[in-house]
Chain A
């Protein structure tokens, strides 16, 4: 006969057997090498000698440590050691319990003689025959106690033949329904409210037909398919107690589960009812009396069927590739997909602190506040006035039996469907509906303070556009300082713009940068159409503007002022020191959005814009004065005197002419440099002196607009510059067909004219916001700066041929890689915000962009 060893897919397998019994051979045959932790190997690692018994203590310490790490990650682990004494096994059983997985024993009971013969062929096992004899005696003495020790499955192999024939079956855990993808309609605590349940099912597009002559609850149910995909119901437990029609609810749900149309997890009330039905001594409280009384009118077989139905329920389910977890009272990450008494307790009651509150109810530990898991956890148990997402968890028990609502959550749509209770069937001990409208949501309240653990150290951030992006520890440390000392409130920071690379350097000619190279980059990336937008020389500004003063608190969680939004710089600082100026600018913008009807069109009460804010001197006043103007003034003063002295010398010494010519040229270059920055500076007294040119309409309620191409952004935003308000400024743009030399020529001439009259230059973007080339994501934008503007960047004299030649050797690789990572992070943060994820998830991306910005990159690029 072939012995079959059946182990749960997540278990701690403990091999038990004397030295030489063949445990290691068996383990190697049945399990993967990484799954096996062998005591001999660990002895070898800590002491260089696999048989060094003196090293056993250290060896097991490390072995246990490793086993813990594996079990925490949800990996099956095999302990290959003699494990013949209960005291050896006890810590292992403990380990399995700590990680809520099942301990499995495989006893290898090989006859003593066989063990001896095997050991004698191995020179490293030169111990006497008493060793194996003692091991086998100890083992046999305690074999029967293995179940009592805590092993749930014990398999015994009694001969070398059984050992070599045994096969292994890994069994899926009952709670593992990762292969079930739904879609699901998940329903909160019903508590015997049958009529409301039927109404809810109908609203969820289920056709419910009662069967004439059958008792209430015996019906045919089928989902009316809307998109051809059958939906499945999921009940979060607490079907019974308090309400008027517990038997009908049970009958309906039991039928639905039996026919595979529904899943159900047990609630604490269900379990207590089951215990009562099993004849256990339970306190008849909290509505149990009603259930027992109603069930008393049912036949015995039905009561027995109910008892068995509840007894068979699985504590919780992990579904939809691990993205969804359902349990009655919630489930913390370390327990998801595991099985133990503690897991079951948690699923039924949640976590309590052991204290009771003023209503005599147990004080619940808010496990959801610490929740960081990837799976969304849907649960019930505690009645709440309305369902609210909180750290990717949600309670949908809206207290139907207490006169509230019965609520369903549609997955993956995340929509709520509710019906009102037809009566108040029971009075809650704690008045949950009296909660009243709260200014901030639970999540916003919690998000008022972020945790250092969510930003510090080396981090990997998953983004939709680029998968994992790594943030280095040093960069995170730098960002921590900047973010803490200078940045605006993180609740406003939903986006930081990426850095922008210039085009490749022109290999010859009078320019360092020109449109040709930018067009060539996108053509090589397989792009057929690009948009050229005039680059205004101001400062980058990210604007969040709200429709009224309430939105900052309702949507962003910011209270305590009457602001309309915020304007931040590209590193997340408040743009204005003067908040009066900021708010009047936002009011002007709000009015323009109102005028053109954009609020209604986008169905939103806030908008996030990427803009250029002019003049440059509005933000960069100190920079211009201390750096640019300082150079201009010094250059003028120094070279004027030099030219004068040289001219005078030339009267006597003509050979000085070349030095004079050069000095005159340099003096002229400095004058052009001064003109270059002066053009971007004007005095700002009030908001009327500002110019705001929005160029990306990044996001609004429920939507990140990066699926719209740049023409849409330009056209939509140009409507704001309707001429009524001169502060709002439309950006001129041009489409270029990259297969048409004429189109390219036209754009190049446009650029030449722009920069010739002192413009900064233009930005070239692929027409679609997010563009992929043959080697992945393409640069979202490339700047082509004008020759005069570059004087401020490369110095007054950079156009002298001998300088230009040296400046051409610049490398763009690091800048471009950075731009892509920052772009992916920016898009990610917007998408997370719009999905209403917890602030830490949005902030993580924003923080990462800031961290990236601390990379040393040539600032002239």
Chain B
């Protein structure tokens, strides 16, 4: 890993004073994760270039860790790319320059000088565009080389590794601060635990520029690695520095950003929940199971309904159930409320006697996460074994996808969706359930009805089937 900083300032060798490293010497430093070397490939009257080279020990990087289960813990790009380790090296090797100190030439510190930065391998999974969005507002000219990692000749869909060159006239201290903060933000990984003092670090190194940066939220979120409370603190502080009122921030964790981005405008899930509650109400359901309850968004609404005596949340993901328990604050509910709710780890692929006797089952945006050949098992579990009087199934209406520009034709709303059905497909499926298991189904639209620019009716974003068992 290499970071080159050049200047054409006169005299160029001033940069040696600023960095506190003599241009005619090679200096090496021991760091926690390997070694750093500083050397100067050019040092003449025109130009001086200082290189910070990291020699990361790839074996030492993982030794001592226990319970690692995947290979990428052991073989990864970390030794070869600009990451939080480079930021640490900047702070340790170029510490005085970063802090803006220079014993010998104090005036140089506050002088803006022409600077060029080269980083040969900088990972950024969000793509090239983010490089521009982060550096250009700070006044850099940015030029980018794309490194493609396709292996078999087919086009790789999204390059995520870049070589970057930045040029600007700045104080060296500012430049190092920018790199210190933005390299880990672009890479979006941290090699160390993100603790509370990270907020202070971010504030210190972001002083004077971060509050005005148009991407400050993204920078804070990523710098603090999505640790929400830390990120919230930082964003509030930044807003205050910029003279805005610190508004409340929704702490809901994001699902797949694609689904969120496209659907959230309509707060579609609220509309779905609203419809489900009203159907349950109309049918006088008392014992309800939310099959595939996830993190418990719907459960929270169900709990507010006093006429529901028993609410079961079932999910196949143990982790989701833990989050649901947190979200519902299960351990802090009064005992009577606690008795109304039960979270069960289960699966729609297996018959489950614990759910016998419920009178309504809800599958809210669940079936599309199952492989189609396995729906048969789910059908038997729900409509044959559990066979409640009422079953509510909601799923995306794929026709409506045409309304979203962000969705390319044929693609789905969520990366785990195994299929998305048209209204006709969904209704054919529902009708076959009815004839096989003795139910009657009524269909509903959730969300606004859409018409494409060429006048095609595409229905609503979500479709819902309300199945009532034949008596």
Residues of B contacting A289 in the complex (Cβ-Cβ under 8 angstroms): none
Contact assessment for A484 and B151 in the assembled complex, using a CB-CB cutoff below 8 Å: no
Contact assessment for B41 and A481 in the assembled complex, using a CB-CB cutoff below 8 Å: no
Residues of A contacting B68 in the complex (Cβ-Cβ under 8 angstroms): 856, 858-859
Contact assessment for B40 and A649 in the assembled complex, using a CB-CB cutoff below 8 Å: yes
CB closest chain-A residue, reference B159: A633
Q: Mark B335-377, 1 if CB is under 8 A from A, else 0.
A: 0000000000111111111100000000000000111011011
The interface-forming segment of B97-105, B118-126, B168-176, B220-228 is B118-126
A interface size (C-beta, 8 A): 73
Q: Mark B121-155, 1 if CB is under 8 A from A, else 0.
A: 10100000000000000000000000111111110
Q: How far is the CA of A858 from the CA of B71 in the complex (A)?
A: 8
A345 within 8 A of B: no
Q: How far is the CA of A637 from the CA of B123 in the complex (A)?
A: 11
B17 within 8 A of A: no
A414 within 8 A of B: no
Contact assessment for A452 and B352 in the assembled complex, using a CB-CB cutoff below 8 Å: yes
* B7-31 contacts to A (CB < 8 Å): 24-26
The interface-forming segment of B76-84, B401-409, B458-466 is B76-84
The interface-forming segment of B51-59, B203-211, B298-306, B323-331 is B51-59
CB distance from A798 to the nearest CB of B (A): 7
Q: How far is the CA of A798 from the CA of B79 in the complex (A)?
A: 13
Q: How far is the CA of A670 from the CA of B77 in the complex (A)?
A: 11
The residue from A449, A621, A640, A649 contacting B26, defined by CB atoms under 8 A apart: A649
With A621-B152, A631-B80, A652-B24: A480-B40 Cβ-Cβ less than 8 Å: no
Q: Mark B28-56, 1 if CB is under 8 A from A, else 0.
A: 00000000010111110000010101010
A182 within 8 A of B: no
Q: How far is the CA of A583 from the CA of B202 in the complex (A)?
A: 56
Contact assessment for B71 and A449 in the assembled complex, using a CB-CB cutoff below 8 Å: no
CB closest chain-A residue, reference B380: A449
The residue from B63, B74, B77, B347 contacting A634, defined by CB atoms under 8 A apart: B77
* A647-703 contacts to B (CB < 8 Å): 648-649, 652-653, 655-656, 659, 662-663, 670, 677-678, 681-684
The residue from B39, B351, B377, B385 contacting A646, defined by CB atoms under 8 A apart: B39
Contact assessment for A793 and B75 in the assembled complex, using a CB-CB cutoff below 8 Å: yes
Q: How far is the CA of A674 from the CA of B53 in the complex (A)?
A: 23
Contact assessment for A653 and B24 in the assembled complex, using a CB-CB cutoff below 8 Å: yes
A629 within 8 A of B: yes
CB closest chain-A residue, reference B348: A484
Q: Mark A488-529, 1 if CB is under 8 A from B, else 0.
A: 111000000000000000000000000000000000000000
Q: How far is the CA of A449 from the CA of B149 in the complex (A)?
A: 44
Contact assessment for A856 and B67 in the assembled complex, using a CB-CB cutoff below 8 Å: yes
Q: How far is the CA of A561 from the CA of B372 in the complex (A)?
A: 12
B238 within 8 A of A: no
Residue with the highest number of chain B CB atoms closer than 10 Å, among A455, A638, A856, A857: A638
B252 within 8 A of A: no
CB closest chain-A residue, reference B154: A683
With A621-B152, A638-B1: A627-B351 Cβ-Cβ less than 8 Å: no
The residue from A478, A649, A793 contacting B39, defined by CB atoms under 8 A apart: A649
Q: How far is the CA of A235 from the CA of B121 in the complex (A)?
A: 82
Contact assessment for A448 and B377 in the assembled complex, using a CB-CB cutoff below 8 Å: yes
Residues of A contacting B352 in the complex (Cβ-Cβ under 8 angstroms): 451-452
Residues of B contacting A653 in the complex (Cβ-Cβ under 8 angstroms): 24-26, 39
Contact assessment for B53 and A642 in the assembled complex, using a CB-CB cutoff below 8 Å: yes
Contact assessment for B161 and A630 in the assembled complex, using a CB-CB cutoff below 8 Å: yes
B274 within 8 A of A: no
Contact assessment for A625 and B377 in the assembled complex, using a CB-CB cutoff below 8 Å: no
A797 within 8 A of B: yes
A803 within 8 A of B: yes
A795 within 8 A of B: yes
B450 within 8 A of A: no
CB closest chain-B residue, reference A792: B75
Q: How far is the CA of A798 from the CA of B58 in the complex (A)?
A: 8
Contact assessment for B120 and A629 in the assembled complex, using a CB-CB cutoff below 8 Å: no
The residue from A485, A640, A681, A793 contacting B120, defined by CB atoms under 8 A apart: A640
B438 within 8 A of A: no
CB distance from A281 to the nearest CB of B (A): 42
The residue from B24, B71, B76, B152 contacting A682, defined by CB atoms under 8 A apart: B152
CB closest chain-B residue, reference A854: B69
CB closest chain-B residue, reference A640: B120
Contact assessment for A617 and B75 in the assembled complex, using a CB-CB cutoff below 8 Å: no
Residues of A contacting B71 in the complex (Cβ-Cβ under 8 angstroms): 627, 793, 859-860
Q: How far is the CA of A747 from the CA of B121 in the complex (A)?
A: 43
Contact assessment for A677 and B151 in the assembled complex, using a CB-CB cutoff below 8 Å: yes
With A452-B352, A630-B77, A639-B80: A485-B41 Cβ-Cβ less than 8 Å: no
Contact assessment for B347 and A794 in the assembled complex, using a CB-CB cutoff below 8 Å: no
B160 within 8 A of A: yes
A632 within 8 A of B: yes
Q: How far is the CA of A157 from the CA of B142 in the complex (A)?
A: 105
Q: In the complex, given contacts A449-B351, A655-B26, A681-B152, what are 12 additional A-B residue pairs having Cβ atoms less than 8 angstroms apart?
A: A450-B377, A480-B350, A484-B316, A574-B371, A617-B152, A621-B152, A642-B2, A645-B51, A659-B53, A663-B53, A795-B58, A798-B59
Listed A/B pairs (7) with beta-carbon separation below 8 Å: A450-B350, A450-B351, A452-B353, A477-B345, A634-B121, A637-B147, A684-B152
